[in-house]
Structure 1
Amino acid sequence: MMSENSFLLKLTCDDQAGIIAAVTTELAARGANIVESNQFWDRQTNRFFLRVAFSTPATVDRAALELALKPASERFGMKVGLDDLSRRPKIIIMVSKFDHALLHLLYQIQVGWLNAEVVAIVSNHEGSRVSAESKNIPYHYWPVNKENKDEQEERLLHLVRETGAELVILARYMQVLSNTLSNRLFGMIINIHHSFLPSFKGAKPYHQAHERGVKLIGATAHYVTADLDEGPIIEQETERVSHGMTSEDFVAAGRDIEARVLARAVKYHLEGRVMLNRHRTVVFAP
């Protein structure tokens, strides 16, 4: 069988006639075979979003594709991203005391459902060191307080650059990131919030939900922004609860939801299925 290269093309621009034709014509001219295609037109903003996974003969590399697509990109004012799908994305996972979401991510990577390389685990507690070392993942114990917060965030930025990490995952990392860090890594940090946003923000949301007598609880995975718990939402899930459950029952049910929701959000991001649309997201779920 002839060897192939696999790529993922993502683009966004103002909607206008001829975008798909211009792109697919150039791909076809280079022997590309489209494996999956998703598109969306946001009528409110008139923005068009396109995601195309495709393969090419081994002789066609990324540089040749970028050159071929340049005229169409300039003509339509496209913002274009082209990724090599043979490359394994590098990620950093941050965690505090509760490690259920971390362990679920590590398991999904182990069984191959998530395609990623964990280049570091960062924590303000020592509790997850054994889990990291059992998988030969570098573990960074960085306690955080008011005096050293800026220094620790600089260390994180350095770690991202040093490892080439493309995504930072807050797997129940219970520290609020500064506006500066949130802005510098915008679109590169995913947080799991233990509540169905926009309800019950801040600390102890399950206890807030229990106090209000809600019948549904949930979790929300979102990109981190300078506005606390208000970043673009990627994935959510809910579960029915009852008056007979305690706040601790709410927490236990919520942990399961959190782990699943975060893993799906990470998978969508790593597979290039999430595209930012101002304060919202376009998610091309499979």
Structure 2
Amino acid sequence: MNLFVFGLGYTAGQFVARERARFGAVAATRQGPVAATRQGPGEAPGAPAGVALRVFSPAEADPRIAGDLARSDALLVSIPPDDAGDPALRAFAEAVAAGPARWIGYLSTIGVYGDQGGAWIDEETPPAPTHDRTRARVAAEEAWRDLGARTGKAVQVFRLSGIYGPGRNAFVKLREGKAQRIVKPGQVFNRIHVDDIAATLAASLDRPRPGAIYNVTDDEPAPPQDVTAFAAALAGLTVPPAVDFATAALSPMARSFYGENKRVRNRLILEELGVRLRYPTYREGLRGLAGEAEPPAA
């Protein structure tokens, strides 16, 4: 089985590194040479061993991508939509439709559910996006599922909650002095360790279901201030003081996240795909990451 990845970022890179042995050839896109200077936390400029990198951006597409798609049995899409829709579909819909891909995974977000007033929701809950970025996500999900319906390809949508893992976690923010314990009564966030995302994608590869939508999240939505306090205690660091949400210094993007409150169920990935979360709550996840919270040796 060969794999092609649109957008080799943090999550897709972790998946490829974990599952590289199951694939023959792997090719993946990045935005070009400048991408190495724009990495998020935990992202390396390079790629997992044995991955052929291709340039793909709104302004440039490696001509080898069409050939890669013609040889790929599996396709993972990890590029966000832009103002004009899904970039990968816009450039390569015909090549994907004509190619041999039997499994297509689209990485989306639980943000498509909008604000649910803290209620428990699942995949049967209709999307209720409240921002342009999440409305674009819903449109992209629908476009990929429509392609699957037209071509008979198994397109699956994975709605990811807040991603954390090596290099991208509460310890990093605490060490950098960027952690805040912002308190908004009743507010919870959903989260998922990147290793459990990779395990979910691998399970879906073994059990493809055309048109499927999966919420990929752990067992326990939790107040963000509790997560920060738990990480500080594990690392032996000072717990940041509580800050009232109403007066907190937040960017407009960060503040918008607090405008959405929901508890997302993960039953479907557990029961249908047989996933057993390695990190069912933030406590197990942070304990597993605690070693990297140690300061470097002098």
TM class by smaller structure: 0.3 to 0.5
Query: Structure 1 length normalisation: TM-score?
Result: 0.40
Say which structure is richer in strand.
1
Q: Bigger relative contact order, structure 1 or 2, given CA contacts below 8 A and separation 6+? A: 2
Bigger share in helix: 2
